[in-house]
C-alpha cells in the first residue's frame, strides 16, 4: 500500500495539472470500489474547479470551488496517472481504469485499481474533520508542530511495541511499514521497545528521524515496489536508499556498527532492524 511519501508525490504531480482547472467531464466506468461511489458522483464534480489538492495521512483531498471535497484513497494497487494530452491510458492501465477525469484544458487523469481496494467519496470542507475515514487520525508527522514532545504525548502509557504504536494511524497519521522500520533505525530504537519508554531524548530522536526519512523519501519520489507509480507514470527511487527494510542478512549501513540486518514478524508484518545499534 502506498505510504505517506508515495501519496504526497502523487498529490504534487496531480496538483501540477489539476489545481486551478475545471473538471469538464468525469467518466465513471465502475462504481463498486472498496465502498460504492455516491450515486451522483460525476454530476457533482462536472463543471467544478479544483481549487487545491491537499493530503491527510494517506488520503488525497481535492478541494472544489463550491466548498465540496473529493476524498480519494489509492488502496493497495490504485494509481492516478495523467495521460499526455490527446492520448489514452496505456492498455495495461485501461483494463482496470474505473474513473477518468478530464480538465477543461485537455488533461486526462485516470484512476485505475486492479484490486479495487481504493475508494473515492464526496464530502464538504465543513464536514471534512468529522468524516468517518478521517476523524480518528492522529497528527501529521510533517507538520511543524510534530516534535518529540508531541510524539511523547501520543505514546504515553502505551505498552505495545514502538513499531506497532507507530503503525497505529490514531497515534501518527500516514506512517506505514517501510518508513517506520527506516525511522526506528535512524533513531537507534529497537522495534521491540515498549512505546511508553519513548519519551524525552528518545522521542526527540524519533520525531527527527521520522521527519528526515519522510523528507528524503518524498525527494526521491517514494518507493516503488509492485504497483506504485507517480502521477506521470514514473517510478520512485527511495528503495535504493533503504537502510534496513528488505535487507535481511545484509550489513547494517550505520558506519562502524558492524551489525547485520535481521527480520522478525510483528502483528503479521515483517520488521527489519539491526539488533546491534537499535536498543
Q: State the catalytic residue, choosing from 25, 192, 253, 269.
A: 269
User: Cell triple for residue 194?
Assistant: 515498549
Cα–Cα distance between 131 and 87 in angstroms, integer? 36
Picking from 267, 255, 268, 149, the residue whose alpha carbon sits closest to that of residue 276 is: 255
Please give the distance of CA 105 from its chain centroid, rounded to a whole number: 28
Q: State the catalytic residue, choosing from 56, 58, 63, 108.
A: 58
Q: State the catalytic residue, choosing from 2, 141, 161, 191.
A: 2
Q: Is-catalytic flag, 269? A: yes
The string of DSSP codes covering 61-76 is: EEEETTSEEEEEE-TT
The string of DSSP codes covering 210-227 is: HHHHHHHHHHTT---SSS
Q: Is-catalytic flag, 129? A: no
Q: Is-catalytic flag, 158? A: no
Cα–Cα distance between 223 and 179 in angstroms, integer? 10
Q: Is-catalytic flag, 182? A: no
Please answer whether residues 203 and 149 qualify as being in contact, where contact means their C-beta atoms are separated by less than 8 angstroms.
Answer: yes
Measured CA distances, 63 to 72, 82, 128 (Å): 11, 18, 11
User: Cell triple for residue 243?
Assistant: 537502510
> Alpha helices, DSSP H only, in 1-84?
4-18, 41-45
Picking from 268, 222, 225, 271, the residue whose alpha carbon sits closest to that of residue 248 is: 271
Cα–Cα distance between 101 and 87 in angstroms, integer? 13
Half-sphere exposure of 16 (CA within 13 A, CB side): 10
By three-state DSSP, how is residue 103 classified?
A: strand
What is the set of active-site residues?
2-3, 58, 269
Amino acid at each position: 500500500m502506498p505510504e505517506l511519501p508515495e501519496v504526497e508525490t502523487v498529490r504534487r504531480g496531480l496538483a501540477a495539472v489539476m489545481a486551478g482547472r475545471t473538471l469538464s467531464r468525469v467518466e465513471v466506468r465502475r462504481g463498486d470500489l472498496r465502498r460504492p461511489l455516491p450515486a451522483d458522483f460525476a454530476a457533482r464534480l462536472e463543471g467544478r474547479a479544483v481549487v487545491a489538492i491537499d493530503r491527510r495521512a494517506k488520503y488525497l483531498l481535492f478541494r472544489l470551488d463550491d466548498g465540496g471535497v473529493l476524498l480519494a484513497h489509492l488502496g493497495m494497487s490504485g494509481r492516478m496517472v495523467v495521460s499526455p494530452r490527446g492520448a489514452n491510458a496505456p492498455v495495461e492501465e485501461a483494463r482496470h481504469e474505473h474513473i477518468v477525469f478530464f480538465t477543461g484544458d485537455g488533461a486526462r487523469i485516470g484512476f485505475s485499481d486492479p484490486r479495487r481496494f481504493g475508494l473515492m467519496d464526496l464530502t464538504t470542507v465543513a464536514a471534512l474533520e468529522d468524516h468517518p475515514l478521517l476523524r480518528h487520525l492522529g497528527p501529521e508527522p510533517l507538520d511543524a508542530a510534530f516534535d518529540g514532545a508531541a510524539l511523547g504525548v501520543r505514546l504515553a502509557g502505551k505498552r505495545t511495541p514502538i513499531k506497532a504504536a507507530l503503525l497505529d494511524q490514531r497515534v501518527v497519521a500516514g506512517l506505514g511499514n517501510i518508513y517506520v522500520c527506516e525511522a526506528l533505525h535512524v533513531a537507534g530504537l529497537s522495534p521491540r521497545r515498549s512505546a511508553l519508554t519513548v519519551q524525552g531524548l528518545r522521542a526527540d530522536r524519533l520525531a527527527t528521524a521520522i521527519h528526515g526519512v519522510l523528507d528524503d523519501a518524498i525527494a526521491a519520489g517514494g518507493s516503488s515496489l509492485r504497483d506504485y507509480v507517480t502521477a506521470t507514470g514514473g517510478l520512485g527511487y527511495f528503495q535504493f536508499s533503504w537502510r534496513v527494510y528488505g535487507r535481511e542478512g545484509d550489513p547494517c549501513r550505520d558506519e562502524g556498527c558492524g551489525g547485520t540486518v535481521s527480520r522478525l514478524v510483528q502483528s503479521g508484518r515483517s520488521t527489519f532492524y539491526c539488533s546491534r545499534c537499535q536498543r
